[in-house]
Amino acid sequence: MPNTIASPEYNTEYGKRSGMTVQRDRIKEGDRVLVIDDLVATGGTLSSAIQLVQATGGKVVECACVVELKMFIDPPADSGLPSRKKLFTDLNIADVPVWGLVSEDVLTNEAELPKEYVDDGEEH
């Protein structure tokens, strides 16, 4: 895209991605930025967004996500899983807080309906 700044390539749980871009004049020197993502796993997308904001002169004050997969925050070294803590430390962005709106625990709970429940097709 013309007149943009790009972040470096980054890795996700799905593989390598090309950098993100933003128009040069969208984030000004000293702007405080909240980065929002739908789902945070390895932190690749978040780290790319943070680096992009920093390249424009802005400061990411925190990152928010709808769901955060906590197994990637700081897994045991022998697990073979990528570590978001290590990635953020290596990129010198470990001071940026990340919080999730929905606990991943909710995603593993199976909904239980009463035995007498009948779906009448209406919203309630």
List pLDDT tens digits, range 56-114. Answer: 999 999 999 999 999 999 999 999 999 999 999 999 999 999 999 987 777 777 778 88
**Contact assessment for residue 10 and residue 28, using Cβ atoms and an 8 Å cutoff:** no
Report field, pTM of the whole predicted structure over 0.85: no
Report how far residue 6's alpha carbon sits from residue 19's, in angstroms, rounded to the nearest whole number: 6
pLDDT-based confidence at residue 124 (cuts at 50, 70, 90): low
Report how far residue 115's alpha carbon sits from residue 81's, in angstroms, rounded to the nearest whole number: 40
Q: How many CB atoms lie within 10 A of CB 46?
A: 26
**2-43 pLDDT, tens digit each:** 788 888 888 877 778 888 888 988 999 999 999 999 999 999
Report how far residue 124's alpha carbon sits from residue 122's, in angstroms, rounded to the nearest whole number: 6
Residue 112: the pLDDT is 84
Q: Beta strand 21-23 with 4-6: parallel, antiparallel or unpaired?
A: antiparallel
**11-20 pLDDT, tens digit each:** 877 778 888 8
Report how far residue 102's alpha carbon sits from residue 109's, in angstroms, rounded to the nearest whole number: 13
Residue 122: the pLDDT is 77
Residue 58 DSSP symbol: -
User: What is the CATH number that goes with domain 4-103?
Assistant: 3.40.50.2020
Residue 71 DSSP symbol: G
